[in-house]
Amino acid sequence: MQIWNHSESGGPVTIAMLSEVLFKKQSGRAMSPGPAFSFVKALQAVNSQLGELYPESEELFKVILIDVDSSDSLEKVIKEHKLEELITLLSVSEDQLVNELQQKNTHLYLADELGLKAQEVVNAGIAAAVVFTPKKNIIPVSEDQLRVAFDGDAVLFSNESELEFQRAGLHGYLEHERQNVETPMTEGPFKGFLEALIRLQKKLHNKDLYKNCPIRTYLVTSRGAGCDGYRALNTLHTWGLELDEAVLLGGSKKGPTLEKIRPHIFFDDQKCHVDAALEVGTVACLVLSPNQQ
């Protein structure tokens, strides 16, 4: 059974990403915002509120930007966008990447389409995903409220039910979920990252920031409103994790829902759902599974 890394509360929520995910290199030395730029700016906005409410606390977002080429222009563009308090640059060789991420208690690693040891990262128990950029313009998103959307199976939960669907088809899957409706699923690769988000969210709630909380979380799943959907919600309840919204689509396409939610980032383990998100201008990430070939 895969054991996922969970860092202790009290420290920062650390998100590592390749520099190309945040800034795309243009001709010459110029750089433009990459697909994760709005996500990172939203992290900065949350940090600003947390810093005002808890000036002595280290429970903030921290971004590690992995610079493979040791580019001086990265430092310049980080300062231009006033992100230097949020971002730490890290020049690291490929063979040392996993060790560095583990030492820094990394909650999430984002690679670009080429990847950089991404599979080794997830095999080491760190949540990892490949970020894809919408071909058309990225849909406008909130500048002061971080919105993160998750698929369920093989993302927040294990792939147990997904494997049953592949083995026995829809009828077999639904019967499996009916028989196990009260049995919580085992955790998936992104449970720890969701826990970290909710930990920061609760700190904001403790300061009466409920209605206008700067962190908002979503479950967007193909599960329906029957036993399969109940099992997902019951699993989250058993874990003590409450998302702001759960959308049970019953097999419908995810694009229209994501277009309404407008998350800064969406995590799914199936490329078809990632593609559906990209079609509506949502930055989407393909979640990697351990030992995936």
Residues marked active site are found at: 151
Contacts of 206 (CB under 8 A, 6+ apart): none
